[in-house]
Amino acid sequence: MSAPDMLKYKVDYLVTRPQPEMRSYLSSLREAVTAELSNYPSVKTVTPSQRQILDQVLNQRLEDTLDAHPNGEEL
């Protein structure tokens, strides 16, 4: 999918969402862009063993979040 098509797809989806949800999404996006432009937080260097632990923790949290979601089995 091309970048313009992806953008249209996202906008078409966003306009179907409740206004508070859309505001929250846009606020998060604004914070992310601001952080990226100000180089905050700074990049952290991790060792390979730390990376392995971080990956395991992230994967477990993602699984837990999906399991707790009402449509978790569909996701």
Cis preceding linkage at 41, omega within 30: yes
Range of the domain at 8: 1-43
Answer yes or no: are the C-beta atoms of 46 and 54 closer than 8 Å: yes
Q: What angle do CA 68, 74, 75 make, to 5 degrees?
A: 70
pLDDT value, residue 41: 79
Phi, psi (rounded to 5 degrees) for 50: -65, -40
Q: Do residues 1 and 34 share a domain?
A: yes
Is the pLDDT reported for residue 10 higher than 90? no
Q: Do residues 19 and 35 share a domain?
A: yes
pLDDT value, residue 75: 61
Please report where in the chains the tokens 């923790």 appear, as a residue. 57
| pLDDT tens, residue by residue, 16-59 | 999 999 999 999 999 999 998 998 878 789 999 999 999 999 99
